[in-house]
Structure 1
Protein backbone atom coordinates (compact mmCIF):
# COMPACT_ATOMS: atom_id res chain seq x y z
CA UNK A 1 0.00 0.00 0.00
CA UNK A 2 1.22 3.46 -0.84
CA UNK A 3 2.50 5.32 2.28
CA UNK A 4 0.07 8.20 1.74
CA UNK A 5 -2.81 5.78 2.36
CA UNK A 6 -1.28 4.00 5.34
CA UNK A 7 -4.07 3.71 7.94
CA UNK A 8 -1.71 3.53 10.90
CA UNK A 9 -0.57 7.11 10.27
CA UNK A 10 -3.95 8.73 9.55
CA UNK A 11 -7.09 9.18 11.68
CA UNK A 12 -9.72 6.67 10.60
CA UNK A 13 -12.11 9.22 9.03
CA UNK A 14 -9.34 10.89 7.06
CA UNK A 15 -8.12 7.51 5.88
CA UNK A 16 -11.59 6.45 4.73
CA UNK A 17 -12.21 9.74 2.95
CA UNK A 18 -8.92 9.41 1.08
CA UNK A 19 -9.82 5.84 0.18
CA UNK A 20 -13.14 6.92 -1.29
CA UNK A 21 -11.55 9.70 -3.31
CA UNK A 22 -8.83 7.36 -4.61
CA UNK A 23 -11.27 5.01 -6.30
CA UNK A 24 -10.19 2.09 -4.10
CA UNK A 25 -13.42 2.10 -2.10
CA UNK A 26 -14.94 -0.75 -4.06
CA UNK A 27 -12.55 -3.21 -2.41
CA UNK A 28 -12.95 -1.84 1.12
CA UNK A 29 -14.60 -4.48 3.33
CA UNK A 30 -18.24 -4.18 4.33
CA UNK A 31 -17.44 -3.89 8.01
CA UNK A 32 -16.01 -0.41 7.33
CA UNK A 33 -19.56 0.94 7.28
CA UNK A 34 -19.75 0.37 11.04
CA UNK A 35 -23.51 -0.07 10.92
CA UNK A 36 -23.66 -1.41 14.44
CA UNK A 37 -22.00 1.55 16.11
CA UNK A 38 -24.10 4.22 17.85
CA UNK A 39 -24.70 7.30 15.73
CA UNK A 40 -23.24 10.42 17.31
CA UNK A 41 -22.88 12.69 14.27
CA UNK A 42 -25.83 12.83 11.86
CA UNK A 43 -26.46 14.67 8.61
CA UNK A 44 -30.05 15.02 7.41
CA UNK A 45 -30.82 15.91 3.79
CA UNK A 46 -34.48 16.51 3.04
CA UNK A 47 -36.78 18.78 5.00
CA UNK A 48 -39.17 16.02 6.06
CA UNK A 49 -36.36 13.85 7.44
CA UNK A 50 -35.04 16.80 9.42
CA UNK A 51 -38.51 17.43 10.83
CA UNK A 52 -38.58 13.82 12.03
CA UNK A 53 -35.17 14.21 13.67
CA UNK A 54 -36.52 17.11 15.73
CA UNK A 55 -39.83 15.36 16.40
CA UNK A 56 -37.92 12.44 17.92
CA UNK A 57 -35.74 14.75 20.03
CA UNK A 58 -32.60 13.66 18.19
CA UNK A 59 -31.49 17.13 17.06
CA UNK A 60 -28.44 17.02 19.36
CA UNK A 61 -26.98 14.48 16.91
CA UNK A 62 -27.25 16.83 13.93
CA UNK A 63 -24.02 18.23 12.56
CA UNK A 64 -25.64 19.61 9.39
CA UNK A 65 -28.77 19.67 7.23
CA UNK A 66 -29.52 20.65 3.64
CA UNK A 67 -31.06 23.89 2.40
CA UNK A 68 -34.57 22.40 2.19
CA UNK A 69 -34.55 21.81 5.95
CA UNK A 70 -36.44 24.87 7.13
CA UNK A 71 -38.73 23.46 9.82
CA UNK A 72 -38.73 23.74 12.75
CA UNK A 73 -37.17 27.19 12.89
CA UNK A 74 -34.15 25.81 14.74
CA UNK A 75 -33.28 23.81 11.63
CA UNK A 76 -32.58 27.03 9.74
CA UNK A 77 -29.69 27.72 12.10
CA UNK A 78 -27.92 24.41 11.46
CA UNK A 79 -24.84 24.15 9.29
CA UNK A 80 -25.92 23.62 5.67
CA UNK A 81 -24.38 21.15 3.21
CA UNK A 82 -26.13 22.68 0.18
CA UNK A 83 -29.14 21.59 -1.87
CA UNK A 84 -30.01 17.93 -1.39
CA UNK A 85 -29.52 17.09 -5.09
CA UNK A 86 -26.18 18.88 -5.33
CA UNK A 87 -24.20 17.41 -2.47
CA UNK A 88 -20.42 17.20 -2.27
CA UNK A 89 -18.59 14.17 -0.87
CA UNK A 90 -15.77 16.36 0.37
CA UNK A 91 -18.17 18.68 2.16
CA UNK A 92 -20.12 15.84 3.75
CA UNK A 93 -17.08 13.86 4.87
CA UNK A 94 -15.38 16.95 6.29
CA UNK A 95 -18.08 16.92 8.99
CA UNK A 96 -17.09 13.39 10.04
CA UNK A 97 -20.64 12.02 10.16
CA UNK A 98 -21.50 8.55 11.39
CA UNK A 99 -24.74 8.50 9.39
CA UNK A 100 -26.70 10.36 6.73
CA UNK A 101 -30.47 10.11 6.36
CA UNK A 102 -32.14 11.58 3.35
CA UNK A 103 -34.85 11.64 0.73
CA UNK A 104 -34.51 9.25 -2.19
CA UNK A 105 -33.73 12.11 -4.58
CA UNK A 106 -30.67 13.17 -2.60
CA UNK A 107 -27.45 13.00 -4.54
CA UNK A 108 -25.75 12.85 -6.93
CA UNK A 109 -25.65 9.07 -6.54
CA UNK A 110 -21.88 8.94 -7.04
CA UNK A 111 -21.43 11.30 -4.10
CA UNK A 112 -23.50 9.11 -1.80
CA UNK A 113 -21.55 6.05 -2.92
CA UNK A 114 -18.33 7.81 -1.96
CA UNK A 115 -19.83 8.67 1.41
CA UNK A 116 -20.88 5.05 1.95
CA UNK A 117 -17.45 3.84 0.92
CA UNK A 118 -15.94 6.11 3.56
CA UNK A 119 -17.75 4.15 6.25
CA UNK A 120 -20.76 6.44 6.70
CA UNK A 121 -24.15 4.81 7.13
CA UNK A 122 -26.44 6.17 4.40
CA UNK A 123 -30.20 5.57 4.60
CA UNK A 124 -32.55 6.98 1.95
CA UNK A 125 -36.35 6.85 2.05
CA UNK A 126 -38.10 6.29 -1.31
CA UNK A 127 -40.76 8.81 -2.30
CA UNK A 128 -44.24 7.29 -2.56
CA UNK A 129 -46.27 10.45 -1.93
CA UNK A 130 -48.36 8.68 0.68
CA UNK A 131 -48.96 8.52 4.40
CA UNK A 132 -46.99 5.26 4.42
CA UNK A 133 -43.97 7.25 3.24
CA UNK A 134 -44.28 9.42 6.34
CA UNK A 135 -44.31 6.36 8.59
CA UNK A 136 -41.27 4.99 6.80
CA UNK A 137 -39.39 8.22 7.44
CA UNK A 138 -40.26 8.05 11.12
CA UNK A 139 -39.15 4.42 11.35
CA UNK A 140 -35.90 5.08 9.50
CA UNK A 141 -34.85 8.06 11.60
CA UNK A 142 -35.84 6.24 14.78
CA UNK A 143 -33.74 3.24 13.85
CA UNK A 144 -30.70 5.25 12.77
CA UNK A 145 -30.72 7.48 15.84
CA UNK A 146 -31.50 4.72 18.32
CA UNK A 147 -34.86 6.26 19.21
CA UNK A 148 -37.11 3.40 18.21
CA UNK A 149 -39.43 3.88 21.20
CA UNK A 150 -39.97 7.56 20.42
CA UNK A 151 -40.52 6.68 16.75
CA UNK A 152 -43.19 4.15 17.68
CA UNK A 153 -44.98 6.74 19.81
CA UNK A 154 -44.82 9.34 17.05
CA UNK A 155 -46.09 6.84 14.48
CA UNK A 156 -49.03 5.95 16.71
CA UNK A 157 -49.96 9.62 17.16
CA UNK A 158 -49.68 10.29 13.43
CA UNK A 159 -51.86 7.28 12.63
CA UNK A 160 -54.55 8.60 14.93
CA UNK A 161 -54.37 12.04 13.33
CA UNK A 162 -54.45 10.51 9.86
CA UNK A 163 -57.51 8.41 10.63
CA UNK A 164 -59.36 11.51 11.82
CA UNK A 165 -58.39 13.59 8.79
CA UNK A 166 -59.24 10.76 6.39
CA UNK A 167 -62.73 10.52 7.88
CA UNK A 168 -63.25 14.26 7.43
CA UNK A 169 -62.22 14.11 3.79
CA UNK A 170 -64.35 11.05 3.10
CA UNK A 171 -67.44 12.71 4.59
CA UNK A 172 -67.22 15.81 2.37
CA UNK A 173 -70.20 16.23 0.05
CA UNK A 174 -68.19 17.49 -2.93
CA UNK A 175 -64.75 17.37 -4.52
CA UNK A 176 -63.44 20.71 -5.84
CA UNK A 177 -61.72 20.78 -9.23
CA UNK A 178 -58.23 21.94 -8.34
CA UNK A 179 -55.10 23.04 -10.17
CA UNK A 180 -51.67 23.07 -8.55
CA UNK A 181 -49.19 25.65 -9.84
CA UNK A 182 -45.49 25.32 -9.06
CA UNK A 183 -43.68 28.64 -9.41
CA UNK A 184 -40.75 28.74 -6.98
CA UNK A 185 -38.38 29.88 -9.72
CA UNK A 186 -40.86 32.37 -11.17
CA UNK A 187 -41.71 30.20 -14.22
CA UNK A 188 -45.12 28.67 -13.50
CA UNK A 189 -45.75 25.01 -14.23
CA UNK A 190 -48.78 22.92 -13.39
CA UNK A 191 -48.77 19.56 -11.66
CA UNK A 192 -49.88 16.50 -13.58
CA UNK A 193 -50.05 12.96 -12.29
CA UNK A 194 -47.19 11.16 -10.54
CA UNK A 195 -46.30 14.24 -8.49
CA UNK A 196 -46.40 15.10 -4.81
CA UNK A 197 -48.92 17.82 -5.65
CA UNK A 198 -51.27 15.41 -7.43
CA UNK A 199 -51.12 13.02 -4.49
CA UNK A 200 -51.78 15.84 -2.06
CA UNK A 201 -54.81 17.11 -3.95
CA UNK A 202 -56.25 13.61 -4.03
CA UNK A 203 -55.61 13.01 -0.33
CA UNK A 204 -57.27 16.35 0.47
CA UNK A 205 -60.45 15.44 -1.38
CA UNK A 206 -59.97 17.33 -4.65
CA UNK A 207 -59.81 16.29 -8.30
CA UNK A 208 -56.69 17.39 -10.14
CA UNK A 209 -57.84 18.98 -13.41
CA UNK A 210 -54.53 18.05 -15.08
CA UNK A 211 -54.28 14.31 -15.73
CA UNK A 212 -53.18 14.20 -19.38
CA UNK A 213 -49.50 14.04 -18.45
CA UNK A 214 -47.21 13.16 -15.58
CA UNK A 215 -44.86 15.56 -13.86
CA UNK A 216 -44.78 19.34 -14.09
CA UNK A 217 -45.23 21.26 -17.35
CA UNK A 218 -46.19 24.74 -18.53
CA UNK A 219 -49.87 25.07 -19.43
CA UNK A 220 -51.19 27.30 -22.19
CA UNK A 221 -54.00 29.77 -21.64
CA UNK A 222 -56.28 27.64 -23.81
CA UNK A 223 -55.51 24.52 -21.81
CA UNK A 224 -55.97 26.43 -18.57
CA UNK A 225 -59.43 27.56 -19.65
CA UNK A 226 -60.35 24.06 -20.78
CA UNK A 227 -59.23 22.58 -17.46
CA UNK A 228 -61.64 24.95 -15.68
CA UNK A 229 -60.25 24.74 -12.13
CA UNK A 230 -62.52 25.93 -9.35
CA UNK A 231 -59.56 26.54 -7.04
CA UNK A 232 -55.83 27.06 -7.53
CA UNK A 233 -53.20 25.83 -5.10
CA UNK A 234 -49.71 27.29 -4.75
CA UNK A 235 -47.08 27.63 -2.06
CA UNK A 236 -46.53 30.91 -0.28
CA UNK A 237 -43.00 30.93 -1.71
CA UNK A 238 -44.39 30.43 -5.21
CA UNK A 239 -46.80 33.34 -4.88
CA UNK A 240 -43.99 35.53 -3.60
CA UNK A 241 -41.85 34.53 -6.62
CA UNK A 242 -44.67 35.74 -8.89
CA UNK A 243 -44.87 39.11 -7.16
CA UNK A 244 -47.64 38.51 -4.65
CA UNK A 245 -51.33 37.66 -4.75
CA UNK A 246 -52.41 40.74 -6.70
CA UNK A 247 -49.81 40.14 -9.39
CA UNK A 248 -50.74 36.46 -9.53
CA UNK A 249 -54.35 37.20 -10.43
CA UNK A 250 -53.26 39.61 -13.14
CA UNK A 251 -51.81 36.74 -15.15
CA UNK A 252 -53.95 36.54 -18.34
CA UNK A 253 -54.07 32.73 -18.48
CA UNK A 254 -56.10 32.70 -15.25
CA UNK A 255 -58.80 35.10 -16.39
CA UNK A 256 -61.01 32.48 -18.07
CA UNK A 257 -61.05 30.02 -15.17
CA UNK A 258 -63.87 29.62 -12.64
CA UNK A 259 -61.25 30.13 -9.93
CA UNK A 260 -60.56 33.65 -11.23
CA UNK A 261 -64.15 34.78 -10.70
CA UNK A 262 -63.95 33.91 -7.00
CA UNK A 263 -60.23 34.60 -6.63
CA UNK A 264 -60.17 31.08 -5.20
CA UNK A 265 -56.56 30.62 -4.19
CA UNK A 266 -55.15 28.48 -1.38
CA UNK A 267 -51.52 28.88 -0.34
CA UNK A 268 -49.39 27.13 2.24
CA UNK A 269 -45.71 27.09 3.11
CA UNK A 270 -43.93 24.75 0.69
CA UNK A 271 -42.38 22.27 3.13
CA UNK A 272 -45.69 21.94 4.96
CA UNK A 273 -47.63 21.55 1.74
CA UNK A 274 -45.40 19.13 -0.18
CA UNK A 275 -42.94 17.78 2.37
CA UNK A 276 -44.76 14.53 3.20
CA UNK A 277 -43.33 14.69 6.69
CA UNK A 278 -44.88 14.54 10.17
CA UNK A 279 -47.11 17.52 9.33
CA UNK A 280 -48.89 15.71 6.49
CA UNK A 281 -52.13 15.18 8.47
CA UNK A 282 -52.33 18.88 9.31
CA UNK A 283 -51.45 19.86 5.72
CA UNK A 284 -54.19 17.68 4.27
CA UNK A 285 -56.72 18.90 6.83
CA UNK A 286 -55.91 22.59 6.23
CA UNK A 287 -55.93 22.21 2.45
CA UNK A 288 -59.22 20.30 2.51
CA UNK A 289 -60.95 22.91 4.64
CA UNK A 290 -59.64 25.90 2.72
CA UNK A 291 -60.51 24.46 -0.68
CA UNK A 292 -64.09 23.88 0.42
CA UNK A 293 -64.30 27.38 1.90
CA UNK A 294 -63.08 29.25 -1.19
CA UNK A 295 -65.30 27.23 -3.53
CA UNK A 296 -68.48 27.37 -1.42
Structure 2
Protein backbone atom coordinates (compact mmCIF):
# COMPACT_ATOMS: atom_id res chain seq x y z
CA UNK A 1 0.00 0.00 0.00
CA UNK A 2 1.16 3.50 -0.74
CA UNK A 3 2.69 4.99 2.48
CA UNK A 4 0.63 8.17 2.09
CA UNK A 5 -2.54 6.14 1.65
CA UNK A 6 -1.60 3.98 4.67
CA UNK A 7 -1.12 7.14 6.75
CA UNK A 8 -4.52 8.47 5.78
CA UNK A 9 -6.08 5.09 6.62
CA UNK A 10 -4.41 5.05 10.04
CA UNK A 11 -5.52 8.62 10.72
CA UNK A 12 -9.12 7.71 9.81
CA UNK A 13 -9.00 4.69 12.10
CA UNK A 14 -7.68 6.85 14.91
CA UNK A 15 -10.41 9.42 14.44
CA UNK A 16 -13.13 6.74 14.43
CA UNK A 17 -11.66 5.13 17.55
CA UNK A 18 -11.59 8.48 19.32
CA UNK A 19 -15.20 9.10 18.39
CA UNK A 20 -16.26 5.72 19.76
CA UNK A 21 -14.50 6.30 23.08
CA UNK A 22 -15.96 9.81 23.27
CA UNK A 23 -19.48 8.44 22.86
CA UNK A 24 -18.85 5.81 25.53
CA UNK A 25 -17.55 8.46 27.88
CA UNK A 26 -20.58 10.65 27.30
CA UNK A 27 -22.92 7.74 28.00
CA UNK A 28 -21.09 7.07 31.25
CA UNK A 29 -21.72 10.61 32.49
CA UNK A 30 -24.86 11.54 34.47
CA UNK A 31 -27.84 12.45 32.30
CA UNK A 32 -27.63 16.05 33.51
CA UNK A 33 -24.47 17.75 34.69
CA UNK A 34 -24.72 18.81 38.32
CA UNK A 35 -27.70 16.58 39.01
CA UNK A 36 -27.54 13.60 41.43
CA UNK A 37 -26.74 10.33 39.70
CA UNK A 38 -26.60 7.92 42.68
CA UNK A 39 -30.05 8.10 44.26
CA UNK A 40 -31.26 5.90 47.10
CA UNK A 41 -35.07 5.83 47.08
CA UNK A 42 -37.14 5.11 50.17
CA UNK A 43 -40.82 4.65 49.33
CA UNK A 44 -42.45 2.42 46.73
CA UNK A 45 -44.55 5.18 45.20
CA UNK A 46 -41.45 7.33 44.69
CA UNK A 47 -39.76 4.49 42.83
CA UNK A 48 -42.82 4.16 40.58
CA UNK A 49 -42.71 7.87 39.84
CA UNK A 50 -39.00 7.78 39.00
CA UNK A 51 -39.57 4.94 36.55
CA UNK A 52 -42.55 6.77 35.05
CA UNK A 53 -40.27 9.78 34.53
CA UNK A 54 -37.68 7.58 32.81
CA UNK A 55 -35.02 8.38 35.42
CA UNK A 56 -34.48 4.88 36.80
CA UNK A 57 -30.84 4.76 35.64
CA UNK A 58 -30.02 7.22 38.40
CA UNK A 59 -31.27 4.88 41.14
CA UNK A 60 -28.65 2.79 42.95
CA UNK A 61 -30.76 1.42 45.82
CA UNK A 62 -34.36 1.16 47.04
CA UNK A 63 -36.34 0.17 50.11
CA UNK A 64 -38.26 -3.08 50.45
CA UNK A 65 -41.60 -1.49 49.52
CA UNK A 66 -40.21 -0.57 46.08
CA UNK A 67 -41.33 -3.69 44.24
CA UNK A 68 -42.82 -2.14 41.10
CA UNK A 69 -41.82 -2.19 38.33
CA UNK A 70 -40.27 -5.64 38.54
CA UNK A 71 -36.90 -4.27 37.42
CA UNK A 72 -36.63 -2.27 40.65
CA UNK A 73 -36.16 -5.52 42.58
CA UNK A 74 -32.73 -5.91 40.98
CA UNK A 75 -31.44 -2.93 42.97
CA UNK A 76 -29.91 -3.32 46.45
CA UNK A 77 -32.56 -3.33 49.20
CA UNK A 78 -31.71 -1.01 52.11
CA UNK A 79 -34.59 -2.17 54.33
CA UNK A 80 -38.21 -1.48 55.20
CA UNK A 81 -39.26 2.18 55.06
CA UNK A 82 -40.32 2.26 58.75
CA UNK A 83 -37.44 0.16 60.09
CA UNK A 84 -34.34 1.47 58.36
CA UNK A 85 -30.77 1.10 59.50
CA UNK A 86 -28.68 4.23 58.82
CA UNK A 87 -25.68 2.05 58.04
CA UNK A 88 -27.64 0.15 55.40
CA UNK A 89 -28.81 3.30 53.64
CA UNK A 90 -25.45 5.09 53.77
CA UNK A 91 -23.44 2.02 52.73
CA UNK A 92 -24.59 2.33 49.09
CA UNK A 93 -22.81 5.71 48.89
CA UNK A 94 -25.70 7.79 47.48
CA UNK A 95 -25.36 11.42 46.43
CA UNK A 96 -29.09 11.94 47.13
CA UNK A 97 -31.57 10.19 49.40
CA UNK A 98 -35.17 10.58 48.24
CA UNK A 99 -37.50 9.53 51.05
CA UNK A 100 -41.24 9.45 51.56
CA UNK A 101 -42.58 11.37 54.55
CA UNK A 102 -42.69 9.17 57.65
CA UNK A 103 -39.56 7.12 56.90
CA UNK A 104 -37.78 5.94 59.99
CA UNK A 105 -37.74 5.07 62.77
CA UNK A 106 -37.21 8.68 63.91
CA UNK A 107 -33.78 7.94 65.35
CA UNK A 108 -32.61 6.42 62.07
CA UNK A 109 -34.13 9.27 60.05
CA UNK A 110 -32.23 11.77 62.20
CA UNK A 111 -28.89 10.02 61.69
CA UNK A 112 -29.47 9.73 57.94
CA UNK A 113 -30.45 13.40 57.68
CA UNK A 114 -27.29 14.47 59.54
CA UNK A 115 -24.88 12.34 57.52
CA UNK A 116 -23.94 15.12 55.12
CA UNK A 117 -25.78 13.62 52.15
CA UNK A 118 -28.68 15.61 50.68
CA UNK A 119 -32.02 14.19 51.83
CA UNK A 120 -35.24 15.24 50.13
CA UNK A 121 -38.40 14.25 52.00
CA UNK A 122 -41.47 13.98 49.77
CA UNK A 123 -44.83 14.76 51.44
CA UNK A 124 -47.45 12.02 51.53
CA UNK A 125 -51.22 12.19 51.97
CA UNK A 126 -54.55 10.41 51.66
CA UNK A 127 -56.19 12.55 48.98
CA UNK A 128 -55.79 12.10 45.23
CA UNK A 129 -54.28 15.59 45.09
CA UNK A 130 -51.41 14.33 47.24
CA UNK A 131 -50.41 12.01 44.39
CA UNK A 132 -49.97 14.97 42.05
CA UNK A 133 -48.00 16.88 44.70
CA UNK A 134 -45.78 13.83 45.15
CA UNK A 135 -45.08 13.67 41.42
CA UNK A 136 -44.20 17.37 41.22
CA UNK A 137 -41.94 17.20 44.30
CA UNK A 138 -40.11 14.12 43.04
CA UNK A 139 -39.61 15.60 39.59
CA UNK A 140 -38.26 18.80 41.11
CA UNK A 141 -35.73 16.84 43.20
CA UNK A 142 -34.53 15.20 39.99
CA UNK A 143 -34.43 18.43 37.99
CA UNK A 144 -37.20 17.17 35.70
CA UNK A 145 -39.97 19.66 36.39
CA UNK A 146 -41.36 19.64 32.85
CA UNK A 147 -41.52 15.84 32.70
CA UNK A 148 -43.15 15.90 36.13
CA UNK A 149 -45.79 18.34 34.94
CA UNK A 150 -46.60 16.12 31.96
CA UNK A 151 -46.84 13.00 34.14
CA UNK A 152 -49.00 14.82 36.71
CA UNK A 153 -51.36 15.98 33.94
CA UNK A 154 -51.81 12.39 32.73
CA UNK A 155 -52.34 11.03 36.24
CA UNK A 156 -54.79 13.83 37.04
CA UNK A 157 -56.88 12.87 34.01
CA UNK A 158 -56.87 9.21 35.13
CA UNK A 159 -57.95 10.19 38.63
CA UNK A 160 -60.72 12.43 37.31
CA UNK A 161 -62.05 9.54 35.23
CA UNK A 162 -61.99 7.23 38.26
CA UNK A 163 -63.85 9.83 40.34
CA UNK A 164 -66.47 10.17 37.62
CA UNK A 165 -67.11 6.43 37.76
CA UNK A 166 -67.25 6.49 41.57
CA UNK A 167 -69.72 9.39 41.65
CA UNK A 168 -72.05 7.43 39.40
CA UNK A 169 -72.26 4.47 41.78
CA UNK A 170 -75.63 4.16 43.46
CA UNK A 171 -76.44 2.34 46.68
CA UNK A 172 -72.90 2.79 48.04
CA UNK A 173 -71.45 -0.44 49.33
CA UNK A 174 -69.53 -0.75 52.56
CA UNK A 175 -65.92 -1.93 52.58
CA UNK A 176 -63.89 -3.16 55.54
CA UNK A 177 -60.14 -3.00 55.02
CA UNK A 178 -58.54 -5.72 57.13
CA UNK A 179 -54.84 -5.27 57.77
CA UNK A 180 -54.56 -8.48 59.78
CA UNK A 181 -56.56 -11.29 61.36
CA UNK A 182 -53.57 -12.96 63.00
CA UNK A 183 -54.30 -14.55 66.34
CA UNK A 184 -58.00 -13.95 65.81
CA UNK A 185 -57.53 -10.22 66.38
CA UNK A 186 -58.89 -7.86 63.75
CA UNK A 187 -56.68 -4.96 62.67
CA UNK A 188 -58.64 -2.63 60.43
CA UNK A 189 -58.54 0.82 58.82
CA UNK A 190 -60.44 3.83 60.02
CA UNK A 191 -60.30 7.32 58.51
CA UNK A 192 -57.18 9.25 57.46
CA UNK A 193 -55.49 6.29 55.79
CA UNK A 194 -54.63 5.33 52.24
CA UNK A 195 -57.11 2.47 52.57
CA UNK A 196 -59.89 4.90 53.44
CA UNK A 197 -58.93 7.05 50.46
CA UNK A 198 -58.86 4.23 47.90
CA UNK A 199 -62.25 2.96 49.10
CA UNK A 200 -63.76 6.40 48.52
CA UNK A 201 -62.05 6.73 45.13
CA UNK A 202 -63.57 3.38 44.15
CA UNK A 203 -67.06 4.63 45.01
CA UNK A 204 -67.40 2.70 48.24
CA UNK A 205 -67.87 3.65 51.90
CA UNK A 206 -65.39 2.79 54.63
CA UNK A 207 -67.36 0.58 57.00
CA UNK A 208 -65.31 1.82 59.96
CA UNK A 209 -64.98 5.59 60.21
CA UNK A 210 -65.18 6.32 63.93
CA UNK A 211 -61.41 6.48 64.40
CA UNK A 212 -58.28 7.50 62.51
CA UNK A 213 -55.47 5.23 61.35
CA UNK A 214 -55.17 1.48 61.77
CA UNK A 215 -56.03 -0.25 65.01
CA UNK A 216 -57.43 -3.40 66.53
CA UNK A 217 -61.22 -3.31 66.51
CA UNK A 218 -63.74 -5.21 68.57
CA UNK A 219 -65.79 -8.02 67.09
CA UNK A 220 -68.94 -6.11 67.99
CA UNK A 221 -67.75 -3.08 66.00
CA UNK A 222 -67.10 -5.19 62.91
CA UNK A 223 -70.50 -6.85 63.04
CA UNK A 224 -72.17 -3.48 63.53
CA UNK A 225 -70.20 -2.04 60.57
CA UNK A 226 -71.90 -4.63 58.33
CA UNK A 227 -69.39 -4.57 55.44
CA UNK A 228 -70.46 -5.77 52.00
CA UNK A 229 -66.86 -6.52 51.04
CA UNK A 230 -63.66 -7.37 52.89
CA UNK A 231 -60.58 -5.79 51.30
CA UNK A 232 -57.17 -7.28 52.11
CA UNK A 233 -53.59 -6.47 51.24
CA UNK A 234 -51.67 -9.14 49.37
CA UNK A 235 -48.00 -9.47 50.15
CA UNK A 236 -48.33 -8.14 53.69
CA UNK A 237 -47.23 -9.74 56.93
CA UNK A 238 -50.55 -11.50 57.43
CA UNK A 239 -50.34 -14.72 55.43
CA UNK A 240 -53.89 -15.83 56.27
CA UNK A 241 -55.85 -17.15 53.32
CA UNK A 242 -59.18 -15.71 52.19
CA UNK A 243 -60.84 -18.89 53.40
CA UNK A 244 -59.35 -18.40 56.87
CA UNK A 245 -60.59 -14.81 56.94
CA UNK A 246 -64.10 -15.85 55.92
CA UNK A 247 -64.06 -18.59 58.56
CA UNK A 248 -63.41 -16.07 61.35
CA UNK A 249 -66.62 -16.10 63.43
CA UNK A 250 -66.97 -12.32 63.40
CA UNK A 251 -66.37 -11.97 59.66
CA UNK A 252 -68.72 -14.87 58.99
CA UNK A 253 -71.51 -12.92 60.71
CA UNK A 254 -71.22 -9.94 58.35
CA UNK A 255 -72.89 -9.59 54.93
CA UNK A 256 -69.45 -9.94 53.32
CA UNK A 257 -68.78 -13.14 55.23
CA UNK A 258 -72.19 -14.64 54.51
CA UNK A 259 -71.75 -14.10 50.75
CA UNK A 260 -68.02 -14.87 50.53
CA UNK A 261 -67.12 -11.34 49.46
CA UNK A 262 -63.41 -10.90 50.07
CA UNK A 263 -60.78 -9.54 47.70
CA UNK A 264 -57.02 -9.27 48.06
CA UNK A 265 -54.98 -6.68 46.15
CA UNK A 266 -51.27 -5.89 46.03
CA UNK A 267 -50.39 -3.54 48.88
CA UNK A 268 -48.34 -1.04 46.87
CA UNK A 269 -50.98 -1.01 44.14
CA UNK A 270 -53.86 0.02 46.40
CA UNK A 271 -52.06 1.88 49.19
CA UNK A 272 -49.00 3.36 47.48
CA UNK A 273 -50.76 6.43 46.07
CA UNK A 274 -48.60 6.63 42.97
CA UNK A 275 -49.15 6.73 39.21
CA UNK A 276 -51.28 3.54 39.25
CA UNK A 277 -53.78 4.62 41.90
CA UNK A 278 -56.56 5.42 39.44
CA UNK A 279 -56.20 1.93 37.96
CA UNK A 280 -56.36 0.40 41.45
CA UNK A 281 -59.53 2.36 42.19
CA UNK A 282 -61.17 1.14 38.98
CA UNK A 283 -60.32 -2.49 39.73
CA UNK A 284 -61.60 -2.20 43.29
CA UNK A 285 -64.78 -0.54 42.05
CA UNK A 286 -65.38 -3.34 39.58
CA UNK A 287 -64.89 -5.95 42.30
CA UNK A 288 -67.23 -4.07 44.63
CA UNK A 289 -70.04 -3.45 42.15
CA UNK A 290 -69.73 -6.23 39.59
CA UNK A 291 -72.54 -8.15 41.24
CA UNK A 292 -75.05 -7.94 44.01
CA UNK A 293 -73.66 -8.89 47.42
CA UNK A 294 -76.44 -11.47 47.62
CA UNK A 295 -75.16 -13.27 44.55
CA UNK A 296 -72.04 -14.55 46.26
CA UNK A 297 -69.99 -14.15 43.07
Q: TM-score, normalised by structure 2?
A: 0.81
Structure 1 residues 287 and 146: alpha-carbon distance in aligned structure 2, compared to 1, 3 A threshold: same
Aligned to 1:226: 224
Q: Deviations over 1:215-270 (max 9, x none)?
A: 2222333222211111111122359711x222221111112111122211122111
Secondary structure of the corresponding residue to residue 134 of structure 1: helix
Deviates more, 1:247-256 or 1:116-125: 116-125
Q: For the aligned residues, what is the CA RMSD?
A: 2.1
Aligned to 2:40: 43
Structure 1 residues 228 and 123: alpha-carbon distance in aligned structure 2, compared to 1, 3 A threshold: same
Residue 57 of structure 1, CA deviation: 1.0
Aligned to 1:235: 233
Which protein has the larger Cα radius of gyration, Structure 1 or Structure 2?
2
2:61 to 57, 60, 64: 64
Counterpart contact for 1:178–1:230, Cα < 8 Å? yes
Secondary structure of the corresponding residue to residue 69 of structure 1: coil
Distance in 2 (CA, whole Å) between partners of 1:94 and 1:63 is 11
Aligned to 1:206: 204
Secondary structure of the corresponding residue to residue 139 of structure 1: helix
Secondary structure of the corresponding residue to residue 287 of structure 2: helix
Distance in 2 (CA, whole Å) between partners of 1:279 and 1:219 is 30
Aligned to 1:256: 253
Aligned to 1:83: 80
Aligned to 1:22: none
Distance in 1 (CA, whole Å) between partners of 2:292 and 2:119 is 45
Distance in 1 (CA, whole Å) between partners of 2:69 and 2:186 is 27
1:115 aligns with 2:112: yes
Structure 1 residues 236 and 109: alpha-carbon distance in aligned structure 2, compared to 1, 3 A threshold: closer
Gaps of 5+ in 2: 1-32
Q: Deviations over 1:261-295 (max 9, x none)?
A: 22111221110011111111111111112111244
**1:19-58 alignment, distance < 5 Å:** 37-58=34-55
1:146 aligns with 2:158: no
1:125 to 122, 125, 133: 122
Aligned to 2:264: 267
Q: Deviations over 1:6-32 (max 9, x none)?
A: xxxxxxxxxxxxxxxxxxxxxxxxxxx
Gaps of 5+ in 1: 1-35
Secondary structure of the corresponding residue to residue 278 of structure 1: coil
Aligned to 1:178: 175
Residue 147 of structure 1, CA deviation: 2.1
Q: TM-score, normalised by structure 1?
A: 0.81
Q: Report which structure shows greater RCO (CA 8 Å, sep ≥6).
A: 1
Q: Deviations over 1:56-91 (max 9, x none)?
A: 111111110001111111111210111112222222
Distance in 2 (CA, whole Å) between partners of 1:177 and 1:99 is 43
Aligned to 1:282: 279
Count of matched residue positions in the alignment of Structure 1 and Structure 2: 260
Structure 1 residues 224 and 117: alpha-carbon distance in aligned structure 2, compared to 1, 3 A threshold: closer
Counterpart contact for 1:138–1:155, Cα < 8 Å? yes
Secondary structure of the corresponding residue to residue 156 of structure 1: helix
